[in-house]
Structure 1
Amino acid sequence: MRGGTMRSGKIGMSLVVTGVALATVAACGQTGAGDSPGGQNADGLSEVTLTLNWVPYGEHAPFYYGVEQGIFEDEGIDLTIQPGNGSGSTVQQVAQRNTEFGWADTPPLANGISSGMPVRSVGVFLQTGPSSVEFFDDQGIAEPADLVGKTVAGTPGDAMYGTFPAWLELNGVDPADVTVVNVDAAGKIAALIEGRVDAIQGFHHDQAPTIENQTGKEVSALPFSDFGMNLLGTGLLAHEATIEGDPELVQAMVRATSESFLAASEDPEAAVAAMAAGAEQAPDESVLAAQLEATIGLLNLEEAPAPGVNTEQQWTGTLTFLAENTEFEGEATPDAYWDGTFGEDL
């Protein structure tokens, strides 16, 4: 612990609301910076809410570790962590200014911005995307061509669903030769376990350890990034008004998040313990540990100057792929989606 003292932090557990109309979001984009839902607590710390992309899993352990270790407090932030209901919903919540910051996957964020939502990424942390196809080892799947004739569960609207056909084509597979079964996000794991599908689209660093824990069976995955398609993954986003009206708060949040991820990578066992103690709805510690270990491998710490620092080339590559291969209609201009200035001081 920093200075030998455990710091306290609030962990909010209310689920976010889904299905917000774009017109409402656009109207919220006109809200002034002074109308942000945050304030200051009795100790003079900025009360900040972070809405995750999903219910807590190992990828999120650095946030809980950062709260426990006082990293956010040292940056003047009293952090409340809320579960999310999918990246798209989290982007909407930030656009509505129901939460100061969001943690969301890059493709849904890009889609939200291209449709008019006044938000920006302030740093992507998972620089190797976790999108994949997951399956039990006994399926004998080793490459995309082995998916021909298989049934794969996907959730309409998420990043994997939209990029899956392009990924198949990139690997010489006709999407018509793979049957996609539409399943809501919460039901994909059950569909695989119950044998209703051969494989699922998912984040391999999250779902694979969960499935193995529930079934005792080995799970393998075909990461999209290993087969020609690496898109930037999850990271921090904020409302344009917050970025423009309180850049010091944004810089503090980015700096604390980066430090927390680096600290968690150096002591993952302590980070898992902090999350197990601080988060409701969290998986078993063994699952958390496996998820965090896989997450650390996606940070590209050997190449990035610090967690959360991106390059214009990375953003251009992700946006260009989305524009050329999916229904994404935005331009491949990084500064329309990402404010990289907050990573310059990391």
Structure 2
Amino acid sequence: MSKQVASGKWTVARRQAQGQRRMAGGRWQVGLQRFGLMIAAVLLASCGKPEQKADPATQSPASPNLPRRELTKMTLALNWFPEAEHGGYYHAKIKGLYAKHGIDLAIIKGGPGTPVEIEVGTGRKDFGIVNADKILSTRAEGVPVVGLLAPFQVSPRCIIVRESSPVKTFDDLKNMTLIANPAKPFVKFLQHKYGLEGVTIIPYRGGLATFLNTDNAAVQGYINSEPLILAERGERVRTLSLATAGFNPYTSVLVTSEKMIAENPELVQGMVRASQTGWLSYLLFPAPANSEIQRQNSEIETYVLEEGAKQLGPLMLTGDAELAAFGTMTETRWAKLQSQLIACGAIKDSGKPVSEAFTTEFLR
């Protein structure tokens, strides 16, 4: 079907997606205003009165522990192709925030099956983006990767079905095809909690062609990405949030190795604090980083990227991050996640304290 013929259909789908975003808009706008005030307070204390609506990325102070001109080459491995969920890191890079902290950062694109946690834990990459459930499963296998910063307080992970599907809750996921990575902990969680009776799981390898060409199907996705892509193509869909089902791992967590923390704490601190400022700036001013993301990922459409960025606020400026530092993490949530993963068979109980899987010592 041509885009012209389908224009009425995809316009309705797009408006549906925009309406869902507006429903959550009020709360996160308040949260973003609070973070804006926090940034302003920091700038007032260190730089004098900030210019109204100034991008905080342009006024972020350099790390006091590193020579300003001495840059150390570092790598950041993404867990997927560049998208809005990486926006804060790109914003920090193009605004020179990492350089201010003594870091010459190269961002490396990911894709299906990219073993970021292994690359980082073994020292082949310096930093990476990994979800909290993967951090725990990797550490259970003896790979010493550590979470530093959690932009997503609410996981964007979802299961997507067509609007015409009888599936309205996770209990309805029966006798159908699920396109998802069967090795992912969230799939094991769904199998354990809901049974998935009669569900055939087909490995997800990126893209939505299999979903579009399969009747009675569901597919994994992120709430701020795949549903928007489908809406742009004229598909009306329904999403089931894993977070509302009780599976809510910190997402797109900035990670490094235990060795990096022990040997280069100043660089780790600079990386974390530049990323914090980058994310807060991206939520306010996403356009510069979006341009770079599109340059790195030419397949992502402008509408999808812009709308995806707008949906990040309710997922980031909420929960513990409303009361503490942006990207904060708590042992309580990590412990709950660990218990869920053990219960569903995703990991074995190693007996190691969950507090070793993350640190908040570098957060501003």
TM over 0.5: yes
Distance, in Å, in 1 between the alignment partners of 2:259 and 2:96 is: 27
- How far the C-alpha of 1:130 sits from its partner, in A, is 2.1
Alignment partner, residue 292 of structure 1: 309
Per the alignment, residue 25 of structure 1 pairs with: none
Indicate whether 1:256 and 2:282 are aligned. no
Which of 332, 343, 356 is the equivalent residue of 1:324?
Answer: 343
Aligned to 1:239: 257
Distance 1:275 1:201, change over 3 A: closer
Partner of 1:93 in structure 2?
A: 119
Contact 1:88/1:109 (<8 A) preserved? no
Structure 1 residues 74 and 272: CA distance shift in structure 2, 3 A? same
For residue 4 of structure 1, report the CA deviation from its aligned partner: 11
Summarize the alignment of residues 35-50 of structure 1 with structure 2, pairs less than 5 Å apart. 43-50=69-76
The alpha-carbon distance between structure 1 residues 270 and 299, as it changes in their structure 2 partners (threshold 3 A), is: same
Verify the 8 A CA contact 1:301 1:307 in the aligned structure 2. no
**Root mean square deviation of aligned Cα:** 2.7
Query: How far is 1:3 from its partner?
Result: 10
3-state secondary structure, aligned to 1:339: coil
Change in CA separation of 1:203 and 1:270 when aligned onto 2, cut-off 3 Å:
same
Superposition map of 1:64-213 within 5 A: 64-86=90-112, 89-168=115-194, 174-175=195-196, 177-186=197-206, 189-196=208-215, 198-213=217-232
2:225, 2:109 → 1: CA distance?
15
Query: Is 1:224 matched with 2:242?
Result: yes
Paired AA for residue 102 in structure 1: G
CA distance in 2, matches of 1:320, 1:141: 28
Cα displacement string for residues 283-321 of structure 1 (whole angstroms, at most 9, x for unaligned residues): 112111122223332113464123221111121111121
Question: Rg: which structure is higher?
Answer: 2
Equivalent residue, structure 2, for 1:11: none
Q: 1:156 to 1:97 in 2, by over 3 A?
A: same
Q: Which runs of 5+ in 1 are unaligned?
A: 6-39, 169-173
2:291 partner amino acid = A
Letter in 2 for 1:291: G
Alpha-carbon distance, 1:223 to partner? 0.5
Structure 1 residues 79 and 131: CA distance shift in structure 2, 3 A: same
* Distance of 2:117 and 2:274 partners within structure 1: 21
CA shift, 1:232, in A, is 2.2
Asked whether the equivalents of residues 158 and 222 of structure 2 are also in contact (C-alpha less than 8 Å), the reply is: yes
- CA distance in 1 between partners of 2:78 and 2:274 (Å): 16
Taking only the aligned residue pairs, the percentage that are identical comes to 22
Instruction: Give the residue type in structure 1 aligned to 2:293.
Output: M
The alignment covers a number of residue pairs equal to 302
1:198–1:306 Cα change, 3 Å:
same
Paired amino acid for 2:231: E
TM-score of the pair, normalised by structure 2:
0.75
- DSSP 3-state at the match of 1:310: coil
Contact 1:64 1:275 in 2 (8 A): yes
1:26-73 per-position Cα deviation (integer Å, ceiling 9, x unaligned) = xxxxxxxxxxxxxx9x95212111000111111112221112222222
- The alignment status of 1:308 with 2:327, answered yes or no, reads yes
The DSSP-based 3-state class of the residue aligned with 1:81 is strand
